[in-house]
Amino acid sequence: MTGTLQQARGLQWLDGQAGSLKITQAPKDTTEETIVRVAPGPPPDVVFSAPIPDETDVLPSSSVRIQFSRDIDGTTFKGRVRIGYSDSAVKGRTETPTPAPQFTTRYLPGTRVLEIRFSNPLERFRTVKVELLEGIAGTDKQPLKPWSLTFQTGG
């Protein structure tokens, strides 16, 4: 078959003239696939938090934001975020320890931020400890080293 290759509006076609057409099979690729191994990246780390570590006079209505150096698998936060009050303020007194605050978490992958919101305002003039426990991992399965943040609420 002979003809002219045409092209218009992003399409190509062959204007053929009568004759015989022979269809052949494309050659099989004989090259072997090479496996490329890439070293894993560094594990994720906390790069910023608000409030900052050891900050004082934090508003009891505040939320906590923690930013990471790498993408985190948001499903790995479940059951691995612990928040409580320091009992040192009530030791030696007859008061019972304050129950841990109730909270929800939301991971924002676009900014690599874990946002922690409290159901009720935090207790005034208390030391709060936020812990990210073992088992939190990046999207590439690299583990986040356990991390904690301590701050004090104001009035």
Q: What is the pLDDT of residues 60-72, one digit of tens each?
A: 999 999 999 999 9
For each of the domains in the chain, give its residue range(s) and CATH number, in order of start: 46-152 (2.60.40.3710)
pLDDT at 77 over 90: yes
Asked if 118 and 63 count as a contact pair (C-beta separation under 8 A), the reply is yes
Strands in 113-118's sheet, in edge-to-edge order, are 46-50, 64-68, 113-118, 103-108
Asked if 127 and 150 count as a contact pair (C-beta separation under 8 A), the reply is yes
Alpha-carbon distance of 4 to 15, in angstroms, equals: 5
For 91, the 3-state DSSP assignment is coil
Q: What is the pLDDT of residues 135-145, one digit of tens each?
A: 999 999 999 99
Asked if 81 and 118 count as a contact pair (C-beta separation under 8 A), the reply is no
Alpha-carbon distance of 81 to 140, in angstroms, equals: 20
Taking residues 24-45, report their average pLDDT: 76
Taking residues 39-43, report their average pLDDT: 85
pLDDT of residue 93: 53
Taking residues 74-99, report their average pLDDT: 79
> pTM, whole model, 2 decimals?
0.72
pLDDT at 89 over 60: no
Taking residues 113-121, report their average pLDDT: 97
Q: H or E stretch including 11?
A: strand 11-17
